Structures are given as structure tokens and as C-alpha cells.
Amino acid sequence: MIPQTHPTPAEAADLPLEKLKQYWGYDAFRPLQREAIECALAGQDSVVVLPTGGGKSLCYQVPAICKDKVAVVVSPLISLMKDQVDGLNASGIAAASINSSLSDNEKRLVAHEVETGNLQLLYMAPERLVLPATIDFLKRVGVAFFAIDEAHCISSWGHDFRPEYRQLGELKKHFPGVSVHAFTATATERVRADIARQLNLETANTLVGSFDRENLLYRVHRRGDTLTQMREVIDRHKDQAGIVYCISRKEVENVAATLNELGYKAKPYHAGLTVGERTNHQDDFINERVDIIVATVAFGMGIDKSNVRFVVHSGMPKSLEAYQQESGRAGRDGLQSECTLLYSGGDLMMWKRMQSDPGAGSQELLEAMYSYCTRNLCRHRMLVEYFGQKFEKSDCGGCDVCLNELQTVPDSLVVAQKIISCVHRVNQRFGVGHVAKVLTGSGAARIRELGHDKLSTYGLLAEHRADTISDWIGQLVGQGFLEKSGEYSVLVISATGRAVLRGETTPVLVHNNPATKKSARVDDWEGVDRNLFELLRSKRKETAMAKGVPPFVIFHDASLRDMAKLRPSSIDAFERVSGVGEKKVTDYGETFIACILDYCQQHGVPTDQAVAGAMSASTSPPLPPKVKNKVMLDAFVLFDQGKSVAEVAAQLDRALSTTGQYLGKYIAARQITDPGRWLPPDKVQTIRKAIDQVGTLERLAPIKELLDDDVSYEEIRIVVDCVKVETGFSMS
Ligand code: ADP
Ligand code: ZN
């Protein structure tokens, strides 16, 4: 878990932290979030680099709700915008996106919300933002700041260059006084500098987080029986979400079909499917109708699913950049997840053949990837150092090497010396297969013809199989002690290889199929009632389906685990669950508490375990009860005195929209059915008519569409909240 800093009492009074608690239900910021937020609040341009799952979105969402004007977020894909907007709305934050999937009417509504100052975050694609009409509109209404998500798309050095991002460089020209904040997970220095240059950010603050994904457990196996090796991983994560990456479409189809025959729920995903098929399969995965997606690397960009528990690669990716990206889709919620990579020496050769433009660059990337597979050094360390950061720990506690899962060959040095001298004896003119045969003492005719049966190294490793030896040779190549040279890939000895012969350095050789795994990791399931977790998961799925949103928009897995651990029996206790903000307490508190109570009574499990914020902000001190609600309670008192929303907002120094939400809760708490205290009767009547016509209380937009512009969302909400009380309507 990423370490957290304790908030001091002085800090606890600050606005960003207050918002974090109120809307997201988190107790502390993650590393660099506060710094990034402060840049946005101070109007200081910034480039923020945090790994996947590091919490980049909060870095612009929190300041956006602290500001009066709208914050504009640039995002490359509609699906990404949609997930974020859904998530924000579910937490009670006014956000919307403008994109090509909206009708003209819907677009007008969003624009109206911006104009009336009701919207806090507006998402759009770069090509729309740079349209003259959009620029004019935004100049007119005023922008708090621009946040550029996936900012590496602006750089042609990055892995996902999008030409339409280039025009964002003009933002600074059009909006000289408005700050621009770029966010990316891409680690390379060159891309980072390019982002700032392309966006014309002259004095941007650059914030770079640690690239280590502490919650990911990395494993590398040489490929044997691929299906068995994959199933071993899948079975460790029964009924959980995972991605299996394959190199070819054909393999994707085969693996998906086989997994389904074996009773797993899997869907294929590759560029050969129709757009419709791909969308359906992706939706099935996101909405938990299937557990596994089997995919080529075409899959992943544009999904924000936070609870992917494992990623398996059936073959070696073509670079560590790609591996970081693909494996990084696991565990975005910060919970432990597994990334297992299966590889063979053949993968390296295949990539080399496939690369149409064998520029030196791509070869280097391939070698680095292969070396990750074969060096048998801490995987976390290799990744972090590859991306140019120091790794301070000697034992990461989260990879197959540090967990001692690899069976190292006890006399690695001697074995390596035997192999390397054999390469020397055959004059560095033969490939892997031949050298392995000489070492096993093979009786093949070719060996005799060449006189290699007379070499001193002939039969030196006769007790091992040829494929085992080939494997070790592959490891020595990967570790740089041997090199493959020329068209025939003959083995030659490197400078460090000669150092091995002199006994000055020792390679790490491991056995082919490591014995499996009793992971010695600290388990983040500790204290969690697993059956209750599963029950809450199906409750979440049911709720999500009814609402038409993905399950993780309702609650993240981390929150469900925290619920299954704390087992809150009251609203007060429920508020302490990590990732549960005020709106979620109101919307889902009752339903989930009922579920927990039922379960605990039936199974004699104690409720109200007193650990606060256990899953995410693990070291934060427990909050005093009710602190989250203090302002809301003050608002209740003022509402009781008959004050209007505007008066209460002014008195408590809160936004109108926030105060509007307090009023919603007030109406529910006091069981008020008559909106007459806040609205004139004729207005109430028109709104009620529109509600009847639409026939649902779930969404305000369609109601708003039927009404004149002078009826605001706030007013509609008041009537809807009263009707809800009247009809006993429950949000879940
Ligand atoms: P990124 O965009 O960097 O990949 P996200 O913004 O999607 O990361 O955040 C990843 C996960 O971490 C989300 O589930 C988010 O709710 C959670 N998260 C973000 N900030 C915090 C925090 N301060 N405390 C606890 N969880 C957080
Ligand atoms: Zn390690």
C-alpha cells in the first residue's frame, strides 16, 4: 500500500481534504495528489506523472469542485469520459461531457448548465475543444483551468500519439491567464519534456511520482504447457476479473474457446471482430457478465475498470513500455493483483522477424524486455530502474524472485562456467541447440563429424536434458553473459561472460518449472469476510444493473472489502467505509447495511468492527464520528429555521450545488413531501407534470428537457426529492 501522511489538525481544516472526505470518502491524499491539487488551485501550469492507479483523476477533480468556474478536462475517448462522468455524478458532483454521441438538445442542455454555473467539470475530446465555436463559448463563460488527461498522446515519442492532441498547444494563446495541467502515466523523460513543449507550458511544475506499482505481484515463467500455466493463475482468482493477452488473433480465439469449454466465463477481443462485437464483449467484461477477456494488445485503452485482479501474458510483449502499460491494467483500485508473464526464447526471435523496420531502437526495447524475463532479478526493481528511478528496497515482497518462488540452480556458477567454456571450445561458431547437445554428450552424427565429441566439454552436463540446458543458455543470453550473433544466431561470449569463467561474477540460473506458490505476502484480505464480500458484490451488480452504470461506479472493490471487514450496522458506521462519500451514504447506505445486517445475523458474525478506513488510507488515524457531516448538520439547523438554499449557502460558505444536496438529505431526513417552502405553487405544479410525463425519478435531465429555461436543476431536484418521500421511493 502506498504510504500516507497523517493530516495535522491544521491541515484537516483545509478545503481539498474536506472535499476528498465529503465526496469520495477517502481520509488522506496519496503521494503528490496534494501538490498537484495546489498547482491547479494556484493557477500554476503543471505536468503530473503518476503510475496507473496513482490517482491522477482526483488531482483535477478536487480543485475543480473548489473553484467557481467550470474546469475543462480533455480526454481522448468517449468511453473514458463516460466512466468518469458516471463516477462523479454517482458521488454527487456536477460533471458532464460533450461528445458526438449526444443529441443537439443534450448538447444545448450541457452548455446551459455551464452558462448558469451549475457544472463543475466538463469533459471533451481535443478536436472539439479546439473548434472556434468551443473556444468562443469557453472564453465567454470563463474556465477555471484545463486538465489534459493521457497527455502523452500529444507526443510522437509516446506509445499512443494522437495528432488531434497537437492543437492543444493553442490553448495558451487563447486563454493566456488560465492554467493548463497535463497528466500521464508515461515515464520517459523525453515524452515528459515534449508534453510541456507542445502545450507551450514555459514554467510548468513537473511532479513525478514513483513508478513502482506496489500492489502488483509480478511473476515470470518460461512457457511450457500454456493452458495449464494460465489456468493456474486464473484459478487463483476464482470469479474475479482478469485479462489474458495473446499475441495473435488466432490464439485469442482458441484460448477463449477452450476456457469456455472448461467452464470459465471468457470473451475474445481483437481487431478482427466487428466494432459491435468488440463493444459487446468489453461491456460484458466491465459489467461483470464475464470474468475473463482474452485479447490482443488492441484491448485496454479506453477501459477504466478498477478491479482487474490478474493479467496473464501468454507471450512476451515487444517492450517493457508495453508490458508496463498492459500489466498496469491490473489493480487500479490499489488492491493486490497478479501479473504473470509466460515467455520463451522463441518469442524474442518472432518479434525480431516481425518488426518490419528493424531500427536499432526497437531491438534495444526487445532486448530489455527479454532481459526482464531472464535475469531473475527483482521484477519491481527491474521495472522501476528501467524507467529511470532508484529502487530502494532490497526485497520487494511482491515478485516471484523476492518471494523465493524460483528454484535457483544450486551450483549456478559451475553450470554457467561449463556452458560458457563449451561455447569457447566450439570457437563461438554454433547456436544454442548444438552447444546444448555437446554438453549432454549427444551421439548425433553431426557432433562426431565435427569432432565435437572429443572436446573437453563434451558430456559435461550429461545428467541434464538438452531442453533444460537450452533454457539455461537462454538465461545466460538474457543476462548478457552470452550474445547471439549474425544470421545463424551463433553464441559468442561477452566481456561479463569471460568474468564468469574467471569466477568473478555469478549468473542466476533457475529451473524450468518453479514449484508453486505459497505467496508469503501480507494478505489484503485480512479480516475481510469473503462470503459477505461476495454477497455485497452481487448486491452491487444488481444495483448497477438497475441504474445502468458499471458496478465500479457504485462502489470500488476496495470499499466492498472494507464493508465486509468493518460490517457497519448503522449510517454512522457506514460513513467510515473507505471510498464512501456523503452521496453514496444517502444513495446506498440503507440497502447495503440491510444486506450486511441480514448476513451477520444469519451467520452469527459480529458487526461494527472498529477499524477505520482500513483498505485505502491504512495509516490514517480514525475519524471522530460524524465529522464528515458537521457542515450538513449545520445546514439542517438553518433549514429548520426556514432559511433558503441561497441563504444557507452564503452563511456556510458552500456552493449552491452542495447546499442543494444538503437540502435533498434534509427533505429525506425530515420526511418532507411539500416543496411549497422553497417554490411557488405554479412552479411546483409544472415540475410535477413534467415528472409524471417522464415517469421516472432517476434522472433529472429528461425532466429538465420538458421545462422552460427558467426552471433550474436545483428546483427540479427539490420537487423530485419531495415526491420520493411521498412515494416511499428508494434510490436503490
Ligand atoms: P489513474 O488515473 O492515475 O490511473 P485513478 O484516478 O483512476 O488513477 O485512481 C485509481 C483509484 O485510486 C481509484 O479507484 C480512486 O478512487 C482511488 N484513489 C484515488 N485517490 C485516492 C486516495 N487519496 N485515497 C484512496 N483511494 C484513492
Ligand atoms: Zn522483488
SS3 of 106, please? Answer: helix
Containing domain of residue 439, as a range?
A: 412-501
- Atom of ligand 1 minimally distant from the CA of 52: 4
- Asked if residue 40 and residue 177 are part of one domain, the reply reads yes
**CATH code for the domain of 438:** 1.10.10.10
Mean pLDDT of the region 600-627: 57
Total Cβ atoms within 10 A of residue 449: 9
The secondary element (H helix, E strand) that includes residue 491 is: strand 490-493
pLDDT score for 350: 85
Mean pLDDT of the region 214-239: 93
Cα–Cα distance, 279 to 292 (Å, whole number): 15
Band (pLDDT 50/70/90 cuts) for residue 519 is: low
- Asked if residue 335 and residue 223 are part of one domain, the reply reads yes
Ligand nearest to the CA of 378: 2
Q: What are phi and psi of 588, to 5 degrees?
A: -125, -10
pLDDT in tens, 16-74: 999 999 999 999 999 999 999 999 999 999 999 998 888 999 999 999 999 999 999 99
pLDDT in tens, 328-372: 999 988 899 999 999 988 888 888 887 766 555 578 888 899 999
Measured in angstroms, how far is the CA atom of residue 216 from the centroid of ligand 1? 15
State which of 501, 518, 551 marks the end of a domain: 501
State which of 177, 208, 239 marks the end of a domain: 208
**Residue whose CA is at the smallest distance from ligand 1 atom 6:** 55
pLDDT score for 673: 86
Cα–Cα distance, 218 to 208 (Å, whole number): 23
**CATH code for the domain of 542:** 1.10.150.80
Using alpha carbons, list the distances in angstroms from residue 510 to 345, 421, 475, 682: 15, 19, 8, 80
Between 360 and 232, the more confident residue is 232
Band (pLDDT 50/70/90 cuts) for residue 100 is: confident
SS3 of 69, please? Answer: coil
Measured in angstroms, how far is the CA atom of residue 3 from the centroid of ligand 1? 14
- Asked if residue 169 and residue 127 are part of one domain, the reply reads yes
Distance from CA of residue 89 to its chain's centroid? 19
- Asked if residue 109 and residue 32 are part of one domain, the reply reads yes
pLDDT in tens, 383-422: 999 988 999 888 899 999 998 888 888 889 999 999 999 9
State the angle between helix axes of 412-425 and 466-478 in degrees (0 to 180), rounded to the nearest 10: 90
Measured in angstroms, how far is the CA atom of residue 56 from the centroid of ligand 1? 7
Domain assignment present for 684 = no
DSSP E strands: which ranges in 275-418? Answer: 292-295, 308-313, 337-343
Ligand nearest to the CA of 397: 2
**Residue whose CA is at the smallest distance from ligand 1 atom 2:** 56
Q: Point out the least confidently predicted range of 267-281, 293-307, 568-582.
A: 293-307
State which of 175, 208, 241 marks the end of a domain: 208
Measured in angstroms, how far is the CA atom of residue 521 from the centroid of ligand 2? 11
Q: Say if residue 93's pLDDT is above 60.
A: yes
Reported as half-sphere exposure (CB side, CA atoms, 13 A), residue 298 has a value of 18
pLDDT score for 620: 34
Q: Which residues line ligand 1 (CB under 6 A)?
A: 26, 29-30, 33, 50, 52-58, 306, 332-334, 556, 616-617
Mean pLDDT of the region 594-606: 92
pLDDT score for 550: 87
Band (pLDDT 50/70/90 cuts) for residue 487 is: confident
pLDDT score for 355: 73
pLDDT in tens, 182-223: 999 876 788 888 999 999 999 999 999 988 999 999 999 989
Mean pLDDT of the region 267-296: 93
Q: What is the mean pLDDT of the chain?
A: 87
**CATH code for the domain of 186:** 3.40.50.300
- Asked if residue 445 and residue 550 are part of one domain, the reply reads no
Q: Say if residue 622's pLDDT is above 80.
A: no
- Asked if residue 225 and residue 145 are part of one domain, the reply reads no
Please choose from 26, 50, 335 the residue to mutate so as to test ligand 1's pocket, defined by most ligand atoms within 8 A of CB.
26
Measured in angstroms, how far is the CA atom of residue 52 from the centroid of ligand 2? 19
Q: How far apart are the first and last CA of the chain?
A: 32
The percent of residues in the chain predicted with pLDDT above 90, rounded, is 58
**Residue whose CA is at the smallest distance from ligand 1 atom 13:** 333
> Is residue 122 left, alpha or beta, with left meaning phi > 0 and alpha meaning psi from -120 to 50?
beta
Domain assignment present for 710 = no
Domain assignment present for 428 = yes
- Asked if residue 475 and residue 382 are part of one domain, the reply reads no
C-alpha cell at 303: 477501459
Cα–Cα distance, 86 to 100 (Å, whole number): 17
Band (pLDDT 50/70/90 cuts) for residue 512 is: low
- Asked if residue 564 and residue 469 are part of one domain, the reply reads no
Measured in angstroms, how far is the CA atom of residue 397 from the centroid of ligand 2? 6
Domain assignment present for 439 = yes
Ligand nearest to the CA of 395: 2
Using alpha carbons, list the distances in angstroms from residue 202 to 72, 170, 195, 197, 491: 20, 13, 11, 7, 50
- Atom of ligand 1 minimally distant from the CA of 29: 23
Q: What are phi and psi of 697, to 5 degrees?
A: -105, 0
Ligand nearest to the CA of 186: 1
Cα–Cα distance, 548 to 354 (Å, whole number): 43
pLDDT score for 631: 74
> What's the predicted TM-score (pTM) here?
0.72
Cα–Cα distance, 195 to 155 (Å, whole number): 6
- Asked if residue 534 and residue 435 are part of one domain, the reply reads no
- Asked if residue 164 and residue 53 are part of one domain, the reply reads yes
- Asked if residue 169 and residue 65 are part of one domain, the reply reads yes
Please choose from 29, 93, 616 the residue to mutate so as to test ligand 1's pocket, defined by most ligand atoms within 8 A of CB.
616
Please name the residues in contact with 720: beta carbons below 8 A apart, sequence gap of 6 or more. 691, 697, 700, 703
Domain assignment present for 131 = yes
CB 692 within 8 A of CB 635: no
pLDDT in tens, 570-595: 998 999 999 999 999 999 999 999 99
- Atom of ligand 1 minimally distant from the CA of 30: 23
Ligand nearest to the CA of 20: 1
pLDDT score for 629: 60
Mean pLDDT of the region 638-659: 82
DSSP E strands: which ranges in 55-208? Answer: 70-74, 95-98, 121-124, 143-148, 180-184, 205-208
Q: Say if residue 1's pLDDT is above 80.
A: no
pLDDT score for 358: 54
Total number of domains constituting the chain: 4
- Asked if residue 203 and residue 153 are part of one domain, the reply reads yes
Measured in angstroms, how far is the CA atom of residue 425 from the centroid of ligand 1? 57
C-alpha torsion angle, residues 444, 445, 448, 453 (rounded to 10): 10
**Residue whose CA is at the smallest distance from ligand 1 atom 19:** 55
